[in-house]
Amino acid sequence: MDQFIEQIVTGLSIGSILLLVALGLSIIYGSMGIINLAHGEFVMLGAYAAWVFHTYLGLGLLASLVPIFLVVAAFGWVIERYVLSLLNNRPLDTILATWGVGIMLQQAVRLMVGSELRYVQLPPALSDSMSVFGIPVSSYRVFLFVVSIALFGATWLLMNRTTVGMKLRAIIQDRSVAASFGINAKRVYALTFAYGAGLAGLAGALVSPLKSVSPDMGTGYVVDAFMVVVLGGVQSLAGTVASAFILGELSGGIAFLQNDTVAKAIVLLAIVVLIRFRPEGLFTARVRA
Amino acid sequence: MSSHLDLRDVSVSFNGFKALNALNMSVRKGELRCLIGPNGAGKTTALDIICGKVKPSAGTVSFDGTALQDLEEYEIARTGVGRKFQVPSVFRELSVSENLDVARARRTSVLGNLRWNIGNAGRADVERLAELVGLTDQLDRPAAYLSHGQTQWLEIGMLVAQDAELILMDEPTAGMTAQETRKTAELFARLKGKHTLIVVEHDMGFVKAIGDVISVMHMGQMLAEGTAAEVEAHPEVRRAYLGSGGISHA
Amino acid sequence: MPSHVPHSSGLQRLIAQLAPLLIVCAVVFALPVLLNNDFLLNKVARYLVLGILTVSLGLSWGFGGILNLGQAMSFGLGSYAMAMALKLKTVPVHTGASGLPDFMVWNNVQHLPWFWEPFRSLSFAIAAGLIVPALVAAALGWFMFRGRVTGVYVSIITLATMVVINLVIIDQQSYTGGFNGITDLAQLEIFGVAFDAYGRATYYLVAGCVLLSLLVAFAFTRTKAGLIVQAIRDHESRVRYFGYDVALYQIFVFALSAAIAGLAGMLYTVVMEFASPTFLGVQLSLSVVVWCAVGGRQSLVGAFLGAVLVAGMQGALSESAAFLETWTLVMGALFVLVVLFLPKGLAGLAQVVLRWIVQRRHAAGRGVAQGVGQTEGST
């Protein structure tokens, strides 16, 4: 029984990290239709930013979260403005362009700070562990769970209760009609992309104490995040949450029963089958065009 | 002559909206039928049903005795149904002659098409078609460079190339100048008899110029059928068009 | 343009289209005469093989509109087919019973697994290197295209499928050599000719396959089926309404492309003298996309040259780590620029430049013809 609960808690922890990483991708994919292959590199930038703030400015992880968000969001803004906005009607090409951008970011970091692994300290206040359902869990993981839910809530509010969110939803519906009502689609897109990038940066900073930081750390994350988005369904934030935790529990469970490689292969196959039969994801209603 | 194309009680709905509501229509071989009606009457959907783009939720479509409603689009096309879309649909990166060549679907299997067309077997045919639609001097240009009217013409030419028995035309003259529209009317008059045509149009002048029988649709149903004069005099039709200034201004 | 001379114009166009292909192949064949260095020749052969792989992607992506992010899957399958046959031909050093491959002995495998058995025959292996990738692609294509999966989703499915196969190969170490791949291979020998990786014979074998695959791909694009495939790329549903079964055409071009990639994979094993899971890795698969985009996805010769030049450049710079890292950065930038501003790659650029030169010469020629007896300054 204990082992079962432990498994569930591990799954929740994996799920919260997945949600953190996938949230930004989900926003960008769902609203702009862009598969952002540089998403992993935004995560990586966030992790490095945490390391830089700590090493050179002596700032703790929690204190540097807001500046990290802003820095990575600024990167996102520039990339949207000067690369992606030029590719309006070429969705396949945006994959290629963002991938190229990802390579550049990765390589630039490697050239500047080297490819050796870096480590970010746990915030001292969260370095102990606490008891959840009688299972000892690191406080930091509980913190991550809370933060991921909070960021999801904030994003939902932003999309559904603010003017920017409303404008974005209008553009998703019909860009030209939105434009004729005076909505500046270009600006809203740039802001959306920047916000998604900022979220990815936050995710990177937040996971950095758990994993080592390296220039190529993003590759794994982008794949995971992408699976979450595909499973959850485009344009469904709630679906993203559900699928993040389902995948978290699943990969925890399968890894427990099988080895890691088989777990990965099974999850990938499931994704392939899902895309073939329900490209709109598990949690969105079928809508006819 | 017995009916060639037969739609029986065809219904289809999108998210609860009944685009077609037990539509009945039959067309004789060699006829040129015009399909008119106010916006949202279901004219385009009716064409979509015939060519298989949309599957009916109820009812049957039979063409020359073949039931179409359960066939895939390409199978329907092989029974001799061709379709021109409202938004001109051509292969933008291919040249005009290549567009026409693709449309000449004499053989449809992959292996049957694995032969080199280095010879000029089809070239004369393509040139004849290009002349028919006035694109002779554009043969080697990519279709992307054509004007809107020329693109419409190209797609019409492609349908002629396909040589389908039944040709469905969705607003073929949209975006054409008066002169181009007249040329289109002449072309349709020539096609009539050899092919069966169903033409969805808004331009009443054009409809009167080409159509023998006019079918009027309203709210997913067939409202009236007859010659232009009969249809215009029809009280239900007048009511359907009420407020839009009558049928001639639709 | 005069339309009454179609015969000569069709033939002329064919010649004009074939000329770059034949020139490039002539250079490839002539290279050993200029390059008297076996080590370098082996490297060039490697890039040529990658060129073939890129041509195969150009066929499915540039012509068929199918962006296969898992093109290396077919390449890897071909490579393993060849490696399995060559492994069974080695004089066993660490054999168990009946010449078992060394890694199987290490993993306590007692008998040669059934799926290794037929690879004792080289002809079977070569056939398998072409047919297995084609069949796998056809099956995957049937799965995707019958369900009308398009665009981005095709890319994801192909990528994911490749990763799954890659994981399985790494996981099944006792049958596949796992992470280390299959190494210590015998030399390929066909009709008494031994193909030493550093020998001329191997180079000419590769060069011959370059010519062959370019010609096959070119011939396909010139058929009506090739034209229909391009039409599908431009407007899939339109093609359907002419009575073509779109999925079958997509499956065909997808499988043809896989077979060519399988050929490249087999050659790669011969040139590299091993097979490795990295041959069907994400890294290589995405690199092929870059080469193809830079060279020009809608030009077979362009795609080929893109691979040879970019991979060659990378190889030349890899002598120094610092160079290589900067190069990767430059590559990324170059790639983004090509995607943004040269959707048809360097081949597209070359076409524009060529057309411009021809037009200028035409204009100049006409100027001279009209300007007989006029002032000389007009040209």
Can you give the pLDDT at residue A68?
A: 94
Comparing B143-152, C237-246, C267-276, the range with the smallest average pLDDT is: B143-152
Can you give the pLDDT at residue B91?
A: 94
C157 vs A contacts (CB less than 8 Å)? 272, 275-276
Can you give the pLDDT at residue C164?
A: 93
Q: Per the domain annotation, does A135 fall within a domain?
A: yes
- Taking the Cβ of residue C339 and every Cβ of chain A, the question of whether any pair is shorter than 8 Å is answered with yes
Exposure of C329 in the CB half-sphere (CA atoms within 13 A)? 14
Cα A108 to its chain centre, rounded Å, is: 21
* Number of Cβ pairs < 8 A linking chain A and chain C: 95
Q: In this structure, what token pair is assigned to residue A67?
A: 């500046």
Instruction: Report the predicted TM-score, pTM, of the whole model to 2 decimal places.
Output: 0.88
> Which residues constitute the domain of residue A31?
2-277
Q: Closest residue of C to B124, CA-based? A: C6
A272 vs C161: CB contact, 8 Å cut-off? yes
B218-235 pLDDT per residue, tens: 888 888 888 888 888 888
- DSSP bridge pairs for C182: C275
Distance CA(C182)–CA(C196), nearest Å, equals 17
User: CA-based Rg of chain B, rounded to a whole angstrom?
Assistant: 18
- The burial class, CB within 10 Å (0-12 / 13-18 / 19+), for A170 is middle
CA distances from A12 to A233, B162, C360 (A): 20, 59, 68
Comparing B236 with A50, the larger pLDDT belongs to A50
A264 vs C contacts (CB less than 8 Å)? 163, 167
Nearest neighbour of B77 by CB, restricted to C227, C235, C242: C242
- DSSP bridge pairs for B23: B10
A261 vs C contacts (CB less than 8 Å)? 167, 170-171
Can you give the pLDDT at residue C212?
A: 96
Comparing A145-154, A191-200, B161-170, B200-209, the range with the smallest average pLDDT is: B200-209
Answer yes or no: is pLDDT of A194 > 70: yes
C227 vs B82: CB contact, 8 Å cut-off? no
Å from B229 to nearest chain A CA? 38
- DSSP bridge pairs for B217: B222
List the chains bordering chain A where 3 or more Cβ pairs fall under 8 Å.
B, C
Å from A269 to nearest chain C CA? 7
Categorize the per-residue pLDDT at C375 as very low, low, confident or very high, splitting at 50, 70 and 90: very low
C149 vs A103: CB contact, 8 Å cut-off? no
Can you give the pLDDT at residue B119?
A: 53
C134-186 pLDDT per residue, tens: 999 999 999 999 988 888 889 889 999 999 999 999 988 889 988 899 988 88
Answer yes or no: is pLDDT of B12 > 80: yes
- Number of domains within chain A: 1
CA distances from C82 to B248, C45, C77, C99, C125 (A): 74, 17, 9, 17, 6
Which value does ipTM take for this structure?
0.90
For residues C115-130, average pLDDT: 93
Q: Per the domain annotation, does A283 fall within a domain?
A: no
Average pLDDT taken over every residue of chain B:
86
The contacts found for B46-50 with CB under 8 angstroms, 24 or more apart, are B46/B7, B46/B10, B46/B20, B46/B217, B47/B83, B47/B168, B47/B170, B47/B198, B47/B200, B49/B7, B49/B10, B49/B12, B49/B20, B50/B5, B50/B7, B50/B76, B50/B81, B50/B83, B50/B166, B50/B168, B50/B198
B117 vs C contacts (CB less than 8 Å)? 222-224
Nearest neighbour of C164 by CB, restricted to A90, A219, A269: A269
CB A253 within 8 Å of CB A7? yes
C152 vs A35: CB contact, 8 Å cut-off? yes
B15 vs A contacts (CB less than 8 Å)? 287-288
B108 vs C contacts (CB less than 8 Å)? 242-245
Answer yes or no: is pLDDT of C218 > 70: yes
C336 vs A contacts (CB less than 8 Å)? 83, 97, 100-101, 104
List the chains bordering chain C where 3 or more Cβ pairs fall under 8 Å.
A, B
Q: What angle do CA A151, A153, A158 make, to 5 degrees?
A: 95
* Pairing label, strands B32-36, B17-28: unpaired
Average pLDDT taken over every residue of chain A:
84
- Taking the Cβ of residue C374 and every Cβ of chain A, the question of whether any pair is shorter than 8 Å is answered with no
Angle between helices A185-207 and A39-57 (to 10 degrees): 60
Å from B30 to nearest chain A CA? 34
Q: Per the domain annotation, does A287 fall within a domain?
A: no
Answer yes or no: is pLDDT of B34 > 70: yes
> Which of C148, C339, C342, C344 to mutate to probe the A interface, most A CBs <10 Å?
C339
C332 vs A93: CB contact, 8 Å cut-off? no
Exposure of B196 in the CB half-sphere (CA atoms within 13 A)? 16
* Nearest Cα to Cα of residue B183 among B134, B130, B112, B145: B134
What are the extents of the domains in chain B?
A: 3-93+164-249
Q: Closest residue of B to C11, CA-based? A: B118
- Taking the Cβ of residue A288 and every Cβ of chain B, the question of whether any pair is shorter than 8 Å is answered with yes
Q: Is C326 helix (H, G, I), strand (E, B) or coil?
A: helix
Q: Closest residue of C to B130, CA-based? A: C3
Cα B105 to its chain centre, rounded Å, is: 17
Q: In CATH, what number is assigned to the domain containing residue A7?
A: 1.10.3470
Report for A193-207, C80-94, C347-361: range of highest mean pLDDT: A193-207
- DSSP bridge pairs for A136: A131
Distance CA(B159)–CA(B155), nearest Å, equals 6
A239-267 pLDDT per residue, tens: 888 888 888 888 777 766 667 777 778 87
Can you give the pLDDT at residue A258?
A: 67
> Which of C61, C142, C336 to mutate to probe the A interface, most A CBs <10 Å?
C336
Amino acid, single-letter form, for residue B95? S
> Which of C218, C224, C227 to mutate to probe the B interface, most B CBs <10 Å?
C224
Å from A265 to nearest chain C CA? 5
A288 vs B contacts (CB less than 8 Å)? 14-15
Q: Per the domain annotation, does A284 fall within a domain?
A: no
Answer yes or no: is pLDDT of A286 > 70: no
List the chains bordering chain B where 3 or more Cβ pairs fall under 8 Å.
A, C
Distance CA(A97)–CA(B182), nearest Å, equals 47
Q: Is the domain covering B3-93+164-249 a CATH 3.50.50.60 domain?
A: no
B158-203 pLDDT per residue, tens: 999 998 999 999 988 887 888 888 888 888 888 888 899 999 988 8
Nearest neighbour of C1 by CB, restricted to B99, B108, B140: B140
Comparing C330 with C378, the larger pLDDT belongs to C330
Q: Is A11 helix (H, G, I), strand (E, B) or coil?
A: helix
Å from C6 to nearest chain B CA? 8
Answer yes or no: is pLDDT of C347 > 70: yes
For residues B89-109, average pLDDT: 90
Residues of A (248-287) whose Cβ lies below 8 Å from B: 287
Å from A139 to nearest chain C CA? 34
> Which of B53, B73, B90, B131 to mutate to probe the C interface, most C CBs <10 Å?
B73
Answer yes or no: is pLDDT of C304 > 70: yes
A287 vs B contacts (CB less than 8 Å)? 15
Report the side by side order of strands in the sheet with B166-170: B81-84, B166-170, B196-200, B32-36, B213-218, B221-226
Å from C247 to nearest chain B CA? 10
Answer yes or no: is pLDDT of C377 > 50: no
For residues A168-183, average pLDDT: 78
> Which of C227, C242, C344 to mutate to probe the B interface, most B CBs <10 Å?
C242
**Which residues of chain B approach chain A closer than 8 Å at the C-beta?**
14-15
